[in-house]
């Protein structure tokens, strides 16, 4: 693990950290380190931390857990009484609240894994899309319980996180079939269910996830297969409660369509969107730390302590 906040933030910006759960953990580590660095350099802590939080949220605008983590850690600084705290006290407060959120995130993650492992049945053929640490945990737990099942996984372009996912599943002794994204329609009817992760869960139960998830959902609907989306309550987008749309991240690098090669083509617009939105109506159920629930039930859990100060009047 690096001891440099800038490197951690840069790694997130460059998408070198994969999976919403791990990205949120690294974001919290970055905020804690940035607070220590600012204290050592006698920099203005509130401004420095606000800048770091903005960079983290800008880097991953489709991941509600990153926004929720940053908001929880920085929430005390919206209160006037914190203005009198020393730099060391501010640093300690940041470290404490980061640990609190991280502990809550880890506990929620373990509950999601436990609930999700019960969705996996012996003999299942499960279709998945993209790299998802939550699903990796679910499948590991199901395998430890003695269940035998097979995975059909997409490459998940751009970035091909599906290849990484398959490599880790094979190490767990889980048989996999890897396909190109364009083959979703041809292979999904060979599965009996689909499981995906969720980078954000909207107030209406819709899910933001890696681009292509919506296509998986529509294909599941066509074949009459259940689609489950896994993620803790901490991935609830509080902004969506006020009707704000979750930004679907786009990238300009060469992992998608290389725009520089096509820049001279007049009238051509290139879009490299990385995430998409799957409407709640195509999701059988959400696998959460509160159990299996219908997508519409997500808004009944706004009393989560880690949403402190952000749901009043919602």
Active-site positions read 199
Q: What are phi and psi of 277, to 5 degrees?
A: -110, 125
Q: Beta partners for 278? A: 207
Q: Quick check: 44 and 90 in contact, CB under 8 A?
A: no
Show the tokens assigned to 233.
């309550």
Peptide bond into 125 cis (omega under 30): no
Query: What is the radius of gyration, based on Cα positions, of the chain?
Result: 20
Contacts of 49 (CB under 8 A, 6+ apart): 31, 34, 35, 38, 73, 74, 77, 94
Residues in the chain: 314
H-type helices in the chain, by residue range?
5-13, 20-40, 45-59, 64-74, 87-117, 133-144, 161-171, 184-187, 213-223, 259-262
| Edge-to-edge strand ranges of the sheet holding 175-179 | 175-179, 150-154, 125-128, 193-197, 227-230, 285-288, 291-293
């Amino acid at each position: 693990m690096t001891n440099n906040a800038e490197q951690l933030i840069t790694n997130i910006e460059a998408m070198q950290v994969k999976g919403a759960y791990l990205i949120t953990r690294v974001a919290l580590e970055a905020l804690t380190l940035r607070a220590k660095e600012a204290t050592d350099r006698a920099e203005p802590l509130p401004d420095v931390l606000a800048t770091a939080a903005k960079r983290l949220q800008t880097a991953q605008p489709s991941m509600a857990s990153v926004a929720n983590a940053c908001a929880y850690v920085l929430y005390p600084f919206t209160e006037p009484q914190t203005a009198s705290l020393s730099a060391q006290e501010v640093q300690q407060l940041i470290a404490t609240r980061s640990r609190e959120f991280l502990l809550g995130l880890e506990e929620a993650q373990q509950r999601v894994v436990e609930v999700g492992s019960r969705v996996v049945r012996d003999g299942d053929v499960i279709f998945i899309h993209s790299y998802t640490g939550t699903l990796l945990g679910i499948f590991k737990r199901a395998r430890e319980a003695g269940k035998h099942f097979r995975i059909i996984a997409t490459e998940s372009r751009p970035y091909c996180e599906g290849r990484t996912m398959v490599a880790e599943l094979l190490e767990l002794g889980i048989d996999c079939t890897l396909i190109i994204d364009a083959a979703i329609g041809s292979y999904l009817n060979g599965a009996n269910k689909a499981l995906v992760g969720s980078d954000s869960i909207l107030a209406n139960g819709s899910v933001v996830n890696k681009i292509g998830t919506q296509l998986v959902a529509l294909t599941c609907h066509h074949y009459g297969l259940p689609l489950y989306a896994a993620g803790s309550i901490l991935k609830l987008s509080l902004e969506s409660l006020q009707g704000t749309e979750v930004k679907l991240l786009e990238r300009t690098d060469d992992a998608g369509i290389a725009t520089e090669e096509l820049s001279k083509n007049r009238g051509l617009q290139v879009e490299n969107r990385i995430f998409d939105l799957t409407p709640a109506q195509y999701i059988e159920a959400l696998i959460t730390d509160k159990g299996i629930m219908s997508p519409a039930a997500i808004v009944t859990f706004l009393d989560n302590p880690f949403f402190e100060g952000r749901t009043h009047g919602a």
